[in-house]
């Protein structure tokens, strides 16, 4: 029985664990061991430190339909619109790991210093992996900003176990949550998985977020395999083409191990086409080395994929931590 969630059986919950309705489960421990052994030869060497030349000091509020999106790094963004400040998968910790002394370590600082954050109203946390659900950051936010935390089923229990001050609200795929000011968020299916340890695999749910704002819809995909593209086409068919898609382009090698959980840049371009977004921003690259590709490989591969698809780089941009997108 899941230690994080108890609820009715559904098309993605069997009473004990969550699952992807359209694809196979995550790789086995044997596969993980094989990758760990093989990566000694295939893993590219990242620099110990790769600082961004940018640092953002965001305004306190952005009013009306205007959109301001600041890239914090990895999969973390600050969205400002309609007088609200919303953080997406915020990670300010030095490591994406359950430990302070080992595990993937940042190679650049967050694009916004924590002390420079404006008042945070809400936080969206997509799933339980350490590079997305960072308890230390959520605790700091709870202590200084007291935001609502919108997250898929079961992740609230993970947060409350560590810090009861974190105001986590659990939701299922398809749930729509109003944030005020004409802003709402809907949790939508994504092809991924979850775990905080070797013994709790898929005991909490994962999701992407469709964020409705006065300035248009924003589709935030934190982690996802491409599969057959059904989840991306479903967003377009059910909700209409988003104005902006935030799509992962990194952490994809080796493909035999990663393809069901992380898209490569070519797949991200196809996801961009499938969902019909006007504009895309890439993320999930250049901050934590989680997989085997070189630090600049996602950017080069994205440029090649865009050229092959006949899509302008201006429509699918990449940012360095501290850079800002404003339409």
Please report the pLDDT score of residue 35 as a whole number. Answer: 60
Domains of the chain with CATH codes: 55-325 (3.60.15.10)
In this prediction, residue 12 carries a pLDDT of 97
Closest CA to 226 of 248, 241, 246, 206: 248
CA 265 to chain centre: 15
Longest dimension (CA), the chain: 52
Lowest model confidence (mean pLDDT) among 10-19, 26-35, 200-209, 305-314: 26-35
Predicted confidence (pLDDT) at residue 101 exceeds the cutoff of 90: yes
Q: Virtual CA dihedral for 124, 236, 232, 309, nearest 10 degrees?
A: -120
Q: 201-217, pLDDT tens digit by residue? A: 999 999 999 999 999 99
Arithmetic mean of pLDDT, 236-258: 96
Q: Read off the pLDDT band of 31 (50, 70, 90).
A: low
Q: What is the pLDDT of residues 296-317, one digit of tens each?
A: 999 999 999 999 999 999 999 9
Distances (CA, A) of 314 to 89, 220, 267, 279: 25, 18, 18, 8
Give dist(CA 235, CA 270) in Å, integer: 14
pLDDT for 2 equals 84
Average pLDDT over residues 25-47: 74
The pTM of the whole model exceeds 0.95: yes
Residue 279 phi, psi dihedral angles, 5° rounding: -145, 150
Measure the CA–CA gap between 159 and 157, rounded to whole angstroms.
Answer: 5
pLDDT score for 37: 64
Exposed (0-12), middle (13-18) or buried (19+): which is 41, by Cβ within 10 Å?
exposed
């Amino acid at each position: 029985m899941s230690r994080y969630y108890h609820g009715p059986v559904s098309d993605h919950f069997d009473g004990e664990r969550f699952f992807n309705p359209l694809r196979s489960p995550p790789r086995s421990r044997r596969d993980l061991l094989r990758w760990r052994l093989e990566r000694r030869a295939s893993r590219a060497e990242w620099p110990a430190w790769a600082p961004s030349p940018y640092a953002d000091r965001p305004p306190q509020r952005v009013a009306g339909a205007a959109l301001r999106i600041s890239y914090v790094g990895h999969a973390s963004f600050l969205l400002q619109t309609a007088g609200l400040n919303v953080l997406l998968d915020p990670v300010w910790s030095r490591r994406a790991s359950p430990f302070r002394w080992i595990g993937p370590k940042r190679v650049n600082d967050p694009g916004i210093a924590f002390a420079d954050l404006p008042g945070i109203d809400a936080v969206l946390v997509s799933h339980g992996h350490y590079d997305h659900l960072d308890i230390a950051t959520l605790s700091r936010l709870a202590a200084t900003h007291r935001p609502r935390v919108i997250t898929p089923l079961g992740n609230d229990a993970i947060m409350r176990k560590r810090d009861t001050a974190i105001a986590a609200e659990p939701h299922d795929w398809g749930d729509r949550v109003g944030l005020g000011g004409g802003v709402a968020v809907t949790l939508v299916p994504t092809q991924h998985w979850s775990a905080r340890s070797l013994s709790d695999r898929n005991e909490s749910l994962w999701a992407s977020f469709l964020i409705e704002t006065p300035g248009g819809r924003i589709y935030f995909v934190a982690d996802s395999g491409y599969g057959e593209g059904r989840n991306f086409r479903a967003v377009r068919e059910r909700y209409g083409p988003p104005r902006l898609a935030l799509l992962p382009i990194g952490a994809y090698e080796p493909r035999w191990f990663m393809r069901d959980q992380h898209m490569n840049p070519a797949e991200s371009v196809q996801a961009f086409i499938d969902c019909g977004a006007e504009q895309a921003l890439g993320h999930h690259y250049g901050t934590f080395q989680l997989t085997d590709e070189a630090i600049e490989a996602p950017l080069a591969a994205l440029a090649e994929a865009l050229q092959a698809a006949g899509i302008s780089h201006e429509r699918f941009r990449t940012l360095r931590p501290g850079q800002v997108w404003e339409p």
